[in-house]
Amino acid sequence: MHRRVRLLGLAAVAATGAVAMTAASGPDPVRGGTPIALADLPQADEGYPIENETIVARCERCHEQDDEGRLTRISYERKTPEGWQTSLRRMVALNGLEITPEEAREVVRYLANNQGLAPEELEPGRFEVEKRLIDHTYEADPQVEWTCIQCHSMGRVITQRRTREEWELLLATHRGLYPLVDFQAFRRSGPAEPGEDGAPADSRHPMDRAVDHLSAVFPLDTPEWSAWRATMRPPRLAGSWTLRGYEPGKGPLYGTVTITGGAADDEFDTTADYTYAETGERVTRAGSALVYTGYQWRGRTNPGQADELREVMAVERGWNEMTGRWFTGAYDEHGPDVTLTRAMGATLISGVYPAVLERGSSMSPVTVYGSNLPALASDYDFGPLVMVVSASPAGDGNSIQLEVSVATDAPIGAHDLFANGANGEGALTVYEGVDRLEVTPATGMARVGGANFPKGYQTYEAIGWSDGADGESETDDDIRLGRVPVTWSMEEYSATFEDTDIQFVGTLDQTGVFTPNDDGPNPAREGDRNNVGDVWVVASYDRGAERALRARAHLLVTVPLYMRFDPWQEAPPTRLVP
């Protein structure tokens, strides 16, 4: 599992009513508005003139401005909103920058809009801004990756663009602020490793190799950024949207989102109404958002409440779809993946629940989610030998309950749903028995906390599989059935003789959520050790008369994230959202 430094607080630099910035008159490069002609923009290899008065006033004490309006360091790099926010916080913490939250939002807004990333540039690093704790492999140069990931994820690197001089200065900044990086990664120990297929060893110093690679692969000037700047503008997103998503531990969710314009072209207010399909739990949310660089949605809903969520999404070209993640938690570990699709009057199928039916099942209730759904059973077609017997509209036009019967000889596999011209590809899967069980993630991590640091939770899911037409497990035609109901338990992961980690690390509930124990020494444990350790997380699926299926996954319960740039307790003016 890759390591990363958590970037706090920007999920919505969007202001609520208390701090919303007033609309400017006429085009404003900070707020968006009329696109700037490409011919009027400076060439990237020359650096970017800074035309925002707040940036010049607050930054020129340390960043010299030349005759072209370019500020040292700042004018020669491009980043995500989160990247600019981190730089700003570092200036406050280390260099005594005095800036108000309102000014900070203005600075991030201007820089993200004028020195941001094109959609194609951000795509490989979206996991970083969406706060996904994943196993990421950077294949372009593993040695450069190793140099960088000793302290943070590679996502921090690949979501930046700089001149060669700036990449060199960035390494120098690391060495100045964090002297241990020389020992951890920046200096090679021993002879250079031989190249592949008998190639001679690369004798370059690791720092030189990193600068050579990063300046070539992630330069300041790119065709993607030039093309995007030529067409960039605030997207027109007001209207009704269908929502589909999936939250680990809770399953699929469906609903609607209504977006209205805010105080400026790139600001929006939102209301969301959705239902978790498994439990029927209904959720309503309200919030606001700001779209940076013409496509980077950053929002916050139910601000200040216990169920507050931050939103990071990308507006797709065409302005008819948004994808991303809504999240919360001290380690951003809770929340759903989401897709928003603009509702434009025609029938739209968001999903079906349950999405699997067993052969021979009769009169099974199936709910179809979407918009402008037809009311008649005859309008729904799941394909051969899957019959829709009746239909009962929910009344809101966004869901309808069907009664479906599946013949004993119905084709096994995914069935498309056609309804009133709309296609729900692979909406319903026909299967025959649960033959295999899988626990995901295969390796999870939680962090003790609650006394001095927040807890980091881990959610597990049990995924059922059917063998498919060939009747054999773990072959290409196996059918993934999704979440299945199981009994959860833990077993000792024996790393030492008489290992007792299971007694101290924490508890696993029957929804698959692991809650770690408190941080700090535990007098009840031998040696007053902390409540860390390894255990197996075990799922058992009851198949009645047949033998129960079991599967397990590894859980590492470790210490809190002690070392991080952002403090656990945020305070103005470094916090950019109220």
Pick from 113-117, 148-152, 306-310, 570-574: least confident = 570-574
Question: How confident is residue 498, by pLDDT bands cut at 50, 70 and 90?
Answer: confident
Given this model, what pLDDT does residue 30 score?
Answer: 32
Whether the predicted pLDDT of 1 surpasses 90: no
Given this model, what pLDDT does residue 256 score?
Answer: 97
Given this model, what pLDDT does residue 194 score?
Answer: 73
Mean pLDDT of 433-454: 95
The closest alpha carbon to 530, from 434, 459, 449, 476, belongs to: 449
Q: Do domains 239-342 and 348-431 have the same CATH topology?
A: no
Q: What is the pLDDT of residues 542-576, one digit of tens each?
A: 998 889 999 999 999 999 988 765 655 444 444 44
Q: Are residues 549 and 466 in contact, defined by beta-carbon separation less than 8 angstroms?
A: no
Instruction: Report H helices in 151-240.
Output: 155-158, 164-177, 181, 206-217, 223-231
Q: Of residues 164 and 24, which shows the higher confidence score? A: 164
Question: How confident is residue 393, by pLDDT bands cut at 50, 70 and 90?
Answer: confident
Q: What is the mean pLDDT of the chain?
A: 88
In sequence order, the 6+-apart residues with CB closer than 8 A to the CB of 241 are: 256, 257, 258, 259, 322, 340, 341, 342, 343
Q: What is the pLDDT of residues 318-328, one digit of tens each?
A: 999 999 999 99
Question: How confident is residue 192, by pLDDT bands cut at 50, 70 and 90?
Answer: low
Please state the pTM of the whole predicted model. Answer: 0.88
Element (H, E) at 113: helix 101-114
Query: In 80-195, where do the E strands start and end?
Result: 160-162
Phi and psi at 458, nearest 5°, equal -135, 130
Mean pLDDT of 99-116: 95
CATH of domain 436-558: 2.60.40.10
Element (H, E) at 538: strand 533-541
User: Residue ranges of the domains in the chain?
Assistant: 35-230, 239-342, 348-431, 436-558
Given this model, what pLDDT does residue 321 score?
Answer: 98
Structure token pair of residue 135: 């196993």
Q: Are residues 127 and 136 in contact, defined by beta-carbon separation less than 8 angstroms?
A: yes
Given this model, what pLDDT does residue 190 score?
Answer: 62
How long, in residues, is the chain? 578
Q: What is the pLDDT of residues 214-260, one digit of tens each?
A: 999 999 999 999 999 999 999 999 999 999 999 999 999 999 999 99
Mean pLDDT of 15-28: 31
Mean pLDDT of 495-502: 90
Mean pLDDT of 96-109: 93
Mean pLDDT of 332-360: 96
Given this model, what pLDDT does residue 577 score?
Answer: 42
Count other C-beta atoms under 10 Å from residue 409's C-beta. 10
Given this model, what pLDDT does residue 471 score?
Answer: 87
* CATH level 3 topology of 239-342: Lipocalin (2.40.128)
Q: Are residues 130 and 312 in contact, defined by beta-carbon separation less than 8 angstroms?
A: yes
Say how far apart CA 9 and CA 308 lie, in whole Å: 12
In sequence order, the 6+-apart residues with CB closer than 8 A to the CB of 397 are: 371, 372, 373
Whether the predicted pLDDT of 6 surpasses 60: no
Mean pLDDT of 466-482: 92
Q: For domain 348-431, say whether CATH 2.60.40.10 is its number.
A: yes
Mean pLDDT of 505-525: 96
Pick from 9-23, 114-128, 503-517: least confident = 9-23
Given this model, what pLDDT does residue 3 score?
Answer: 34
Structure token pair of residue 426: 């692979």
Q: What share of the chain is helix, strand, coil (3-state, %, to 5)?
A: 20, 35, 45
Mean pLDDT of 40-55: 76
Q: What is the pLDDT of residues 352-381, one digit of tens each?
A: 999 999 999 999 999 999 999 999 999 999
